[in-house]
Chain A
Amino acid sequence: MSAPGLAAALALKSLGNRRGTALLTLLSITISVALLIGVNQVRREARSSFTNTLSGADLIVGARSGSINLLLYSIFRIGNPTGAVSWDSYQKISSRSDVAWTFPISLGDSHRGYRVLGTDENYFTFYRYGGGRGLELADGALFADDGDAVIGAEVAAKLGYEVGTPIVVSHGIGAGSFAEHDDNPFRVAGILERTGTPVDQTVHVTLAGIEIMHGADVADADHEHDDEGGEGHAEATIEPEIITAFVVGMKSRAALFGLQRIINDYRREPLSAIIPGVALTELWGLVSTAETALLVVSGFVVVAGLLGLLTTLLTSMNERRREMAVLRSVGAGPGMIFALLICEAAFLALLAALAGVALVHLGLLLSREVVLETFGIALSPGLPGMFDLLVVSGVTLAAMLIALVPAWRGYRNSLADGLTVRI
């Protein structure tokens, strides 16, 4: 057997013999690697999930606000709308000759914790996610009248709804909102295919449906709505006074910036038009500091794990002087003692890092459901990628570098001790 091969074989056996301490060291490295990989994985998944949520839309228009805010509340249902857009402005912009299509978004109500979104048929025609896929019905049909609701896959699955189930909408968001619009229950008309986007957690109704529901509310005088919407309630008109936001698709992207400027300078009311991709980039810019901080912290945890390995190896050096003398007596050179210790560290770190990678990917696979429900982030059960490979080889290499310290000490010891077995 070649000398490196023999050193490697002995290192494996030696590790196996000290599996108690070796396992603890391994565990600490595994956890640290899992943390690092996990942070990176979730970061990446979150990004791709956000990026995949809306595609093909050119502009999102809402009341004047920051672009990130508008993007978050209109598309990702995160946070609350800061204002509204008048129906009049919506009509004017959507009828422009350079606009191909639009769909309105009207938020503010909820059903058992799921957001209710008022819109029209264009939503189902033009909404694109995951790089161009459109919404598909899994069951039932789209809106036939204003009492119909089309629900996302998650809503249907979690609440056990089928086509025909009547649902009652609450004002405000949250599972136990005080005011329920129970005089005008909706009926589930259709259930959408799963998309892995916030659409899955949304109850879609028509704009008129929302108006009728709110009109009935006002008659009951149970509660008050936003000031802005107050007047509309009394009449219960089919056309809404206001909507929360709308999404615009252009005929030609060349006119995109022109229209964006026109909307941003709109005289009648203060509006903001944002380009989704640009807003997302802004969002990443905002969170990247936090992401970097998390990655750096995780990196230091890995360093701490490796220092644990160093401690374990160094403390074992004294009790292993006898072992080294025995190896020397049967013909091992000091170089072999050196190689043995490096191999031990490398094996331990490699195993730990691989276990860390496996832990993360298994964990993500098992927690997909929960993460999707809680955060609306669709984790793709991807195979370990370049980053994982980089971390595994990096950690192994770092362990070998760190092991130079005990290996050098072992080398020196074995030169000084020779065949003398020190007890």
Chain B
Amino acid sequence: MTQQGTGAVEQPSHNPAVELENLSFSYRPNEPVLAIQQWQVAAGETVFLKGPSGSGKSTLLGLIGGILAPDSGHVRVLGQELGAMGRGARDRFRAQHLGFIFQMFNLLPYLSLLENITLPCRFSKLRAGRAGDQGPEARALTLLKQLGLDPAIAARPVTELSVGQQQRVAAARALIGEPELLVADEPTSALDADSRTQFVELLLAQSKAAGSAVLFVSHDASLAPLFDRSATLTELNTVGAPS
């Protein structure tokens, strides 16, 4: 992947990490699924977004991730107007500046653990560069340690990892190369209650260290106090959750 020119020279800005304005999106004409007047995630801010299924959560993440383009209104990520970019440019932008963690099945079974973590660095030179002078692999091992995993597990096939281990590896992948925005889509729902808090605490500590803003989507409200701020998607989305 080629590096996006504007992203490479951009200093850590004071632009909000995410900025939504008069946003509206529909998959089929006249059936809007998401409409948000005004919402922001500040740079470096950690936000808990409570989003039950059916609230338009996947759509919102698709819009912020640059997979979808809004019908009208603005989606600005790090001050960049995603709607103004072409699809290829949005893919590159995502590679450069965003890290994702999913609910489960985050890892590619055919890549080694370290290859999984360093995958974003293969899509983005910017993130490979930010991973440090020692190279992405060394950075990956450090991240593993910081996320409470024994770096020795790097030798194991990813399919043999427990769900908890997999999620931490996924977190390491999302964090490598210090993306400005980290999006987590119910990453703890497959974990048991004890390890949930621990996982979120580790994730937040590392994202603070990387200076990344965090948008954490979950329906487990007990995690909300760990974040700077929390919001509820059903309240933001003026279309409202379909029954």
Q: Are A421 and B91 in contact (CB under 8 A)?
A: no
CA–CA, A52 to B173, complex, Å?
67
How does the 8 Å CB contact mask read for B76-105 relative to A, with 1 for contact and 0 for none?
Answer: 000000000001100110111000101111
Q: Is A104 at the interface (CB under 8 A from chain B)?
A: no
Q: Are B120 and A330 in contact (CB under 8 A)?
A: yes
Q: Are A3 and B1 in contact (CB under 8 A)?
A: yes
Chain B: residues with Cβ within 8 Å of the partner, total of 33
CA–CA, A168 to B103, complex, Å?
87
Determine, out of A10-18, A150-158, A183-191, the stretch whose residues face the partner at the interface.
Answer: A10-18
Q: Which B residues are CB-close (under 8 A) to A421? A: 102-105
Q: Are B105 and A418 in contact (CB under 8 A)?
A: no
Q: Is B234 at the interface (CB under 8 A from chain A)?
A: no
User: Main SS of the interface on chain A?
Assistant: helix
Q: Are B67 and A418 in contact (CB under 8 A)?
A: yes
- Our pick among A17, A331, A333, A419 for the contact of B62 (Cβ within 8 Å) is A419
Determine, out of B11-19, B107-115, B130-138, B146-154, the stretch whose residues face the partner at the interface.
Answer: B107-115
Given contacts A327-B108, A331-B92, contact A418 B62 (CB under 8 A): yes
Q: Is B56 at the interface (CB under 8 A from chain A)?
A: no
Determine, out of A118-126, A318-326, A367-375, the stretch whose residues face the partner at the interface.
Answer: A318-326
- Our pick among B1, B100, B104, B124 for the contact of A329 (Cβ within 8 Å) is B100
**Distance (whole angstroms) from the CB of B26 to the closest CB of chain A:** 15
- A-B pair count, CB < 8 Å, reads 79
Q: Which B residues are CB-close (under 8 A) to A330? A: 94-95, 100, 119-120, 123, 173
CA–CA, A14 to B110, complex, Å?
5
Chain A: residues with Cβ within 8 Å of the partner, total of 27
Q: Which B residues are CB-close (under 8 A) to A115? A: none
Q: Which A residues are CB-close (under 8 A) to B109? A: 17, 323
How does the 8 Å CB contact mask read for A287-324 relative to B, with 1 for contact and 0 for none?
Answer: 00000000000000000000000000000000000110
Nearest neighbor of A328 in chain B, beta-carbon distance: B67
Q: Is A221 at the interface (CB under 8 A from chain B)?
A: no
Q: Are A6 and B67 in contact (CB under 8 A)?
A: no
Given contacts A14-B110, A329-B65, A333-B91, contact A419 B185 (CB under 8 A): yes
Q: Which B residues are CB-close (under 8 A) to A3? A: 1
Q: Are B62 and A420 in contact (CB under 8 A)?
A: yes
Q: Are A331 and B108 in contact (CB under 8 A)?
A: no
CA–CA, A330 to B127, complex, Å?
11
Q: Is A159 at the interface (CB under 8 A from chain B)?
A: no
**Distance (whole angstroms) from the CB of A145 to the closest CB of chain B:** 78
**Distance (whole angstroms) from the CB of B42 to the closest CB of chain A:** 23
CA–CA, A3 to B123, complex, Å?
8
Q: Are B108 and A329 in contact (CB under 8 A)?
A: no
**Distance (whole angstroms) from the CB of B140 to the closest CB of chain A:** 14
Nearest neighbor of B58 in chain A, beta-carbon distance: A420
CA–CA, A334 to B120, complex, Å?
16
Given contacts A3-B1, A6-B122, A419-B65, contact A322 B105 (CB under 8 A): yes
**Distance (whole angstroms) from the CB of B119 to the closest CB of chain A:** 5
CA–CA, A334 to B122, complex, Å?
16
- Our pick among A323, A334, A419 for the contact of B100 (Cβ within 8 Å) is A419
What are 14 A-B contacts with C-beta separation under 8 Å?
A: A6-B1, A14-B108, A18-B110, A322-B105, A323-B108, A325-B102, A329-B94, A329-B102, A330-B119, A331-B95, A333-B91, A418-B58, A418-B68, A421-B104
Q: With A10-B108, A13-B110 given, can you name 11 additional A-B contacts, CB distance below 8 Å? A: A1-B1, A1-B122, A13-B115, A14-B108, A323-B109, A329-B94, A330-B100, A330-B120, A331-B96, A335-B88, A419-B67
